């Protein structure tokens, strides 16, 4: 497989159509107008294609600045993200994602770079403990008050009244809900404490409720698996 990170305005109509088709294949409630509007706000897109050139995954990224408690920091917000079921065993997308955001971090290390993630799927949430040392919320540690305040600030700033602060959940007017055969958490996965905690915090994930998560992006916060993503080979384009 091959991944490439490109600026959003480099996408052509065919790319957009392929992305919408792939997202619609896995989620119910996907509206083209909402998809196009959301995509139009993003800076970067990571596309993953198989050996035949078929799109099997993508992730959209918005990079912006925010200020809270006198500190200005850079933010990476993950938008629509999906991998086709045929490519679930591949680490191509997370590998490309980590390399892309690390390049963004390296361009400006004068400010902290934080990752604002909202997720309605345990599979996406599971990437946090796999690739990052510190992230929140997590089952084995309370969220520090300063981190919690930043999470609330970013969520309120980005989602307004769609964010239920007492729950740490975002509810959209047109939520993306995993199709029935992919929705829910298989009983066997609940033995994983990370998955069980996600299920506890976000019981409405089947309806498309999104759990707000935060991690700081820097080399020191990468787990051993995250560092392997950087050192492993990948056919990808360096962001311009």
Cis peptide before 137 (omega within 30 of 0): yes
Quick one: how far is CA 81 from the chain centroid? Answer: 6
Residue 89 CA to residue 25 CA, distance in Å, equals 18
**What's the pLDDT at 240?**
38
Which residues, including other chains, have CB under 8 Å from residue 100's CB and lie 6 or more apart? 5, 44, 46, 61, 239
**What's the pLDDT at 142?**
97
**What's the pLDDT at 6?**
93
Could you give the residue ranges of the DSSP H alpha helices within the chain? 13-26, 32-40, 92-107, 122-125, 127-131, 145-159, 193-201, 224-231
Which residues, including other chains, have CB under 8 Å from residue 9's CB and lie 6 or more apart? none
Cross-strand pairs, 49: 2, 55
Closest to 58 in 3D by CA, of 103, 109, 24? 24
**What's the pLDDT at 181?**
72
- The yes/no answer on whether domain 2-231 falls in CATH 3.30.70.100 is no
Which residues, including other chains, have CB under 8 Å from residue 108's CB and lie 6 or more apart? 74
**What's the pLDDT at 235?**
40
**What's the pLDDT at 57?**
94
Positive/negative CA dihedral, 132, 119, 125, 238: negative
**What's the pLDDT at 47?**
96
pLDDT along the chain (240 residues), means of 10: 91 95 90 93 94 93 96 94 86 91 89 95 93 97 97 97 97 82 79 96 94 96 92 49
Q: DSSP letter string over 184-217? A: S--GGGGGSHHHHHHHHH-TTGGGT-EEEEEEE-
């Amino acid at each position: 497989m091959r991944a490439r990170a490109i600026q959003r305005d480099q996408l052509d109509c065919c790319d957009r159509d392929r992305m919408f088709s792939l997202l619609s294949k896995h989620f119910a409630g996907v509206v083209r107008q909402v998809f196009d509007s959301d995509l139009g706000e993003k800076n970067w897109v990571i596309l993953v294609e198989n050996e035949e050139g078929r799109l099997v995954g993508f992730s959209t990224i918005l990079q912006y600045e925010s200020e809270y408690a006198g500190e200005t920091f850079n933010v990476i917000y993950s938008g629509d993200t999906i991998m086709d079921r045929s490519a679930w065993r591949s680490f191509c997308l997370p590998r490309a994602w980590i390399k892309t955001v690390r390049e963004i971090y390296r361009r400006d290390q004068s400010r902290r770079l934080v990752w604002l993630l909202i997720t309605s799927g345990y599979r996406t949430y599971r990437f946090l403990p796999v690739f990052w040392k510190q992230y929140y919320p997590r089952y084995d540690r309370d969220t520090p008050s300063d981190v919690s305040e930043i999470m609330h600030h970013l969520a309120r700033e980005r989602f307004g009244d769609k964010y239920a602060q007492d729950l740490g959940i975002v509810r959209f007017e047109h939520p993306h809900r995993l199709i029935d055969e992919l929705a829910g958490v298989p009983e066997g996965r609940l033995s994983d404490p990370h998955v069980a905690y996600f299920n506890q915090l976000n019981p409405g994930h089947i309806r498309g409720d999104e759990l707000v998560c935060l991690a700081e992006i820097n080399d020191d916060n990468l787990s051993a698996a995250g560092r392997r993503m950087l050192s492993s080979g990948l056919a990808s384009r360096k962001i311009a």
